[in-house]
Structure 1
């Protein structure tokens, strides 16, 4: 009578692990882990439903033998204005780059998102397609970072704790801003710009440090801004662009085939977010105002101030009169070809020379 031989489970698991390790070693494909800076968790659904799952399943999504150690920037103890610096120092391998917030370190970035330049998603996409190669070249040269794609949170609108139904109502009010271009525009309509990071805004509104703040409807919903405001005004001053960059060192370690796989994965991710962002914006506007069409966010009861056509005209005029000249002066000091490169690409989309 034959006897059945039993092995302890831990021995079987150890043997399986050893076989897998030997197979990986023999194929010359030892697994790599990339350190990744993500979007702030507080920004909401794009981070939660698209970005985080992509990096948590990085090997599967890219088809590469690479894992990702993903951490949102607000959980790392790093300011979102310092992302390019820590990338240049070699501390991380991939960054979910906040464009406006890092434009002080590299003004070229802001050409993706000048105030008033992109009043809708279609225009924003044309600017992005035209201008991203310029940004990529500049970041490679200055920060050893290669851009793999970019996407928008969506139209950045006003949330106020005082009645605001037009730009004229901002006169004398303190408004949270996040880049120099936006601050200059707010000054032009009589408001006092107050630079604050996203995570500081809820408390600043609650305490009266600012009267209004600017962000996307979905981000405002996810972070509870409607709890401390009363009005939303849907004049989209910017699109809040964000980009994915990889350290040039890591990029050059990959074969041509691996680079193509990685690029294809990020292109799909960013294309998916472009579409999702537009859906989120429409839903969040409804949710913030407590409308029945709200499906994805939390219902609040903000007063939804109708968009004034006169304000749309003011914003359009600001592109050539305020946004481009203000930004070009700063950017050309850092990069002498900055505004010329923008006018040859994004500027052509908008008819600005």
Structure 2
């Protein structure tokens, strides 16, 4: 009887399906200073990863500025597998992958509608390059919103940037500032508030909600609501981890990130208009209220940014992108360039 029971138990054990192991992912997120988008959407998504994805999975989430990792290293981190999922900031990572800037050259995206069109047209090229050159599956993109100018000295138009030092975050922006007679100063977002306070830079570019969260209005006087770019971000997964998922798991994962990025697009647009008001002490306001002066863009300001795409940002980017990825500018011209009448 003992031998019989033992044999029966063994047969049942062999016949039973193996228990699936819980999927575990290490996630590198946005900087803490980015505020609402991080706290309301990105962080809760990863903290409730199983419910959000419908997978038996957990995510260990770390904001990038708590790790010692710098923003420009995002694609390298994803490719190397140090983190399985990385919240990629496209301007900094464009040093490794210039194709990322093709979504958001200066003068290309004045508003959310233009930004959405850019992703529809050029995102497939970015996805292909990330996969082939960086072993990274791009799961979705979203914009922080129009990147506008904050200045410590009072300015009345873009013409007043001449002679000033301006914090920028990519080469496309640096070229445009130089065309205005300003001095472009590349600085990480986390260092910019102190740089403004100490006079290392006179002006800086970011979105109104990011500036609000990071306290830039405490050390500036003026905001110029003229969108130079929209500052795209995205979520990349190490390709080996992606390929290790079953087809069903991949479908659920992709669907979850599509829902997340759709929510961020909508929230980003809400935050943009609200933060503009709050930075100027206007109501209604659910963010921190400041007292900046809003300087409305002049017709020449609007024209300068619009013309920058054809005359400054695309020509400079074209050579750099083609060196890194042959055919890059041709892909842009046949999609976004054709759409913009180039």
TM bucket (normalised to shorter chain) is over 0.9
CA shift for structure 1 position 346: 2.3
* 1:145 counterpart = 2:136: yes
Deviations 1:135-191 (A, max 9, x none): 111011111001011000000000000011211000000000010000000000111
CA shift for structure 1 position 210: 0.2
SS of match in other structure, 1:307: coil
Q: Which moved more, 1:212-221 or 1:132-141?
A: 132-141
On the 8 A contact 2:151/2:204 being kept in 1, the answer is yes
On the 8 A contact 2:79/2:239 being kept in 1, the answer is no
In the alignment, which of 272, 291, 294 is matched to residue 282 of structure 2? 291
On the 8 A contact 1:151/1:243 being kept in 2, the answer is yes
In the alignment, which of 215, 218, 232 is matched to residue 223 of structure 2? 232
CA shift for structure 1 position 309: 2.0
Supply the distance in 1 between the matched residues of 2:164 and 2:196 (Cα, whole angstroms). 12
Supply the distance in 2 between the matched residues of 1:138 and 1:209 (Cα, whole angstroms). 36
Q: Which moved more, 1:337-346 or 1:30-39?
A: 337-346
Q: Show the counterpart of 2:64.
A: 73
Q: Compute the TM-score of the two structures, normalised by the length of structure 1.
A: 0.91
Q: Compute the TM-score of the two structures, normalised by the length of structure 2.
A: 0.94
In the alignment, which of 330, 347, 350 is matched to residue 340 of structure 2? 350
Q: Superposition RMSD on alpha carbons, in Å?
A: 1.2
* 1:256 counterpart = 2:271: no
On the 8 A contact 1:126/1:349 being kept in 2, the answer is no
* 1:312 counterpart = 2:302: yes
Supply the distance in 2 between the matched residues of 1:293 and 1:105 (Cα, whole angstroms). 41
Q: Which moved more, 1:114-123 or 1:79-88?
A: 79-88
Q: Where do 5+ consecutive residues of structure 1 fail to align?
A: 1-21
CA shift for structure 1 position 345: 2.1
Deviations 1:244-289 (A, max 9, x none): 1111111111111111111111111111111100000000000000
Q: Where do 5+ consecutive residues of structure 2 fail to align?
A: 1-12
Supply the distance in 1 between the matched residues of 2:53 and 2:157 (Cα, whole angstroms). 46
In the alignment, which of 326, 329, 337 is matched to residue 319 of structure 2? 329
Q: Size of the alignment, in residue pairs? A: 328
In the alignment, which of 149, 154, 158 is matched to residue 149 of structure 2? 158
Q: Which stretches of structure 1, 4 residues or longer, exceed 6 Å deviation after superposition?
A: none
